[in-house]
Amino acid sequence: MPRILVTGGCGFIGRHVTAELLENRYNIRILDGFIDQVHGDAEAAISEEVEIVRADIRDRTAVREALRDVDGVIHLAAEVGVGQSMYEIERYVGANDLGTAVLLESMIGLPVKRIVVASSMSVYGEGRYVTDAGDRVDFVRRTAEQVRAGLWDLTAADGGRLIPAATDEDKPVDLASIYALTKYAQERQVIIFGEAYGVEAVALRLFNVFGVGQALSNPYTGVLANFASRLANSQPPLIFEDGRQRRDFVHVFDVARAFRLALEQQAAPSHVINIGSGNSYTIAEVATLLANAMGIPEIGAEILGKARSGDIRNCFADISRARELLGFEPRHRLESSLGPFTKWVRSTSAVDRSAEMKRQLEKRGLVS
């Protein structure tokens, strides 16, 4: 059986990737730093078939040992969260970019055939837009003045309307946060390394991942987990801006399968590939769907009318390349997957730290 090293394999996505690989007869070794903010009692959820190395991704000796006799690598180890990245800059750059550099340098001279790295939709900044005439717009941002005035939707240079469109991989990157910067650096390091050393390299740009096992007490994790944590504590979800911003929500089962396919498919190397559901939802719509699924629609949501530094308005995935290169097709829509998710939320402990997150951002002037 091929042996795969999964860095960050005890995190939310990593546990599901590990389960997917085990089901498909891979031999798995995990390297994970077990960060309290993210993991909780994660090790208990890992199969006894899996070898676990407890170490920071920047520990050269541990990384080199974890790579022993490995055929492939799935690199998930990273600090995650746009908001926190804007003030814990050293932490994010160190773990994400230096950590990736240590991993790649440790791979030199080893017979690793393929590496798949987790990148992020955040590298796009704003997603694709088209004008009323159908012309594509690559670069567009809101000014600080527009945000402070509550002018949430983007407009063309001539003041005309811009319509959000599915974002494909050819859309140029526009890095709007430290987190986005680190994820882009990770994917480019991996692709450049692969070309230089003859290692097959793939980068998957993940959209908003949700599912059982998210860190409900980490306010910088996915929006669905944040909303679930608030609702489980009888508090309304906190929604920045006006709630009409659009995102793509992809189930972690689909994401795990995408990583396996990226290890296996011959057409994948040297590509960056979107992994999303191909659907878009407003954030307010997601809050309503979740409250209904949890049986507490009367709680509603708190619309803050403020924006966080580094946030974008709209971004959702065009997954044509994933279909073509990986044979990937999402199987779990948000609307039909909230039942199992909410059942799990009710069975676990969720400490609501959203208000503290908001205070931390406001204290540093990162909310306007």
pLDDT tens for each residue of 188-232:
999 999 999 999 999 999 999 999 988 776 666 678 888 988 898
Residue 351 lies in a domain: yes
Residue 217, pLDDT score: 64
Alpha carbons 148 and 241: distance in angstroms, whole number: 10
pLDDT tens column, 106-158? 999 999 999 999 999 999 999 999 999 889 998 899 988 888 899 999 998 88
Residue positions annotated with a catalytic role: 179
Residue 72 belongs to a domain: yes
- Cβ count near 320 (within 10 Å): 14
- Any domain includes 368: no
User: What are the tokens at 209?
Assistant: 């991942």
Residue 119: which of 225, 257, 13 has the closest Cα?
13
User: Does residue 69 form part of some domain?
Assistant: yes
What is the structure's pLDDT at 364? Answer: 66
Looking at residue 351, what is its pLDDT?
65
pTM above 0.75, yes or no: yes
Q: Is residue 73 part of a domain?
A: yes
Number of domains comprising the chain: 1
User: What is the domain range of residue 17?
Assistant: 3-363
pLDDT (0 to 100) of residue 42: 47
Residue 345: predicted pLDDT: 87
Q: What is the pLDDT of residue 220?
A: 62
Domain-embedded: residue 182: yes
pLDDT of residue 145: 87
Q: Which residues of the chain have pLDDT under 50?
A: 40-43
Residue with tokens 């077990």: 34
Element (H, E) at 203: strand 200-206
CATH number at residue 182: 3.40.50.720
Q: What percent of the chain has pLDDT over 70?
A: 91
Specify whether the CB–CB gap between 209 and 114 falls below 8 A: no
